Amino acid sequence: MHIGIFTKTFLRPTLEETLDAVRGHGIHSVQFNLECAGLPSMPDRIETSVAERISSALVERKITMAAVSGTFNMIDPDLVKRRQGLKQLGVIASACKRLGTSVITLCTGTRDPENMWRRHPDNDSPEAWRDLVGSMKEALKIAEEHDVTLAFEPEVSNVVDSARKGRRLLDEMGSEHLKVVMDGANIFHAGELQRMREILDEAFELLGKDIAISHAKDLTHDGEAGNVAAGKGVLDYDHYISLLRAVGFNGPLILHGLKEAEVGECVAFLRKKGVTV
């Protein structure tokens, strides 16, 4: 297991300067956002020259692209937006080999029409689940065509808001191209924090064998909008990391939800927990 980071943690005018900032902290793995190369996060087109420039810049700095962001609202109440998101996902998937990654991260979505990271009461409806299944089936056709892995993240604001729903989705899809982003700070609904170990244990029991990448952030309270930088909240990191090790996870533990000024401190925190750079 090794430390990675979201490229968008660093606000720099060029791709190369962004990656230099990553390397400046001794980090060799990133979850990449195409905005860092001057494109939209979900582009309508990725020129071959741009993909090759990204790949070359990473190779020159000995940085691995652990995953690329492909997040859109998979249950957006606006069907046109959903279809556009799937089309753009296809654009990213077709560029993955040139970019140097095989993993695309997803957001399972929300019925909120404005913010795909905000919970909506209709997320729990049968219709929301039906729409997620429909979108995911289309997304997996894209993944199979381009031989990439899609990784969704269970989080309280989205339709897949628990490990149990994550397991349900994996079982219903039955695809080797669908995996999980594990984030221990994102799975506690209001009132659940006192059951932290129990909920973490259940999450790893249900999803541990399907983790593609993991995230490192923290939380100050359960429910929504409680995230802070790793080591600055109440998440039991010793237990979280021990669970990652217990399931044999040997991939990137990716820092996010932090300010650039906090990167050095967070890297030091994870290293004290035995995670390498």
The model's pLDDT over 194-208, given as tens digits with 9 standing for 90+, comes to 999 999 999 999 999
Average pLDDT of the segment spanning 212-219:
97
pLDDT at 157 over 90: yes
Average pLDDT of the segment spanning 109-120:
94
pLDDT at 150 over 80: yes
Which among 146, 225, 142, 216 has a CA at the least distance from the CA of 188?
225
**Domain limits, the chain:** 2-272
Q: Which residue has the tokens 């997996």?
A: 140
pLDDT at 170 over 70: yes
Average pLDDT of the segment spanning 110-120:
93
Euclidean distance between CA atoms 72 and 241, whole angstroms: 29
Which among 142, 154, 160 has a CA at the least distance from the CA of 185?
154
- Residues 26-83 have pLDDT tens digits of 999 999 999 999 999 999 999 999 999 999 999 999 999 999 999 999 999 999 999 9
Please, which residues bridge with residue 6 across strands?
31
Average pLDDT of the segment spanning 149-157:
97
Other beta carbons less than 10 A from residue 56's beta carbon: 13
Query: Which pTM value belongs to this model?
Result: 0.97
* Pairing outcome for strands 218-219 and 227-228: antiparallel
Euclidean distance between CA atoms 218 and 232, whole angstroms: 6
Does the domain at residues 2-272 carry the CATH identifier 3.20.20.150? yes
Average pLDDT of the chain, as a whole number: 97
Question: What pLDDT was estimated at residue 184?
Answer: 96
- Residues 73-114 have pLDDT tens digits of 999 999 999 999 999 999 999 999 999 999 999 999 999 999
CA distances from 229 to 12, 19, 209 (A): 20, 20, 26
Euclidean distance between CA atoms 82 and 214, whole angstroms: 26
Cα 112 to the center of its chain, rounded Å: 20
- Residues 232-249 have pLDDT tens digits of 999 999 999 999 999 999
Question: How many C-alpha atoms does 207 have within 13 Å on its Cβ side?
Answer: 33
Cα 18 to the center of its chain, rounded Å: 19
Euclidean distance between CA atoms 70 and 101, whole angstroms: 12
Cα 88 to the center of its chain, rounded Å: 17
Q: What percent of the chain is predicted at pLDDT more than 90?
A: 97
Question: What pLDDT was estimated at residue 225?
Answer: 67
Rg (CA), the chain: 18
DSSP 114-143: S-TTS--GGGGSHHHHHHHHHHHHHHHHHH
Between 159 and 222, the more confident residue is 159
- Residues 175-189 have pLDDT tens digits of 999 999 999 999 999
Question: What pLDDT was estimated at residue 89?
Answer: 98
pLDDT at 223 over 90: no
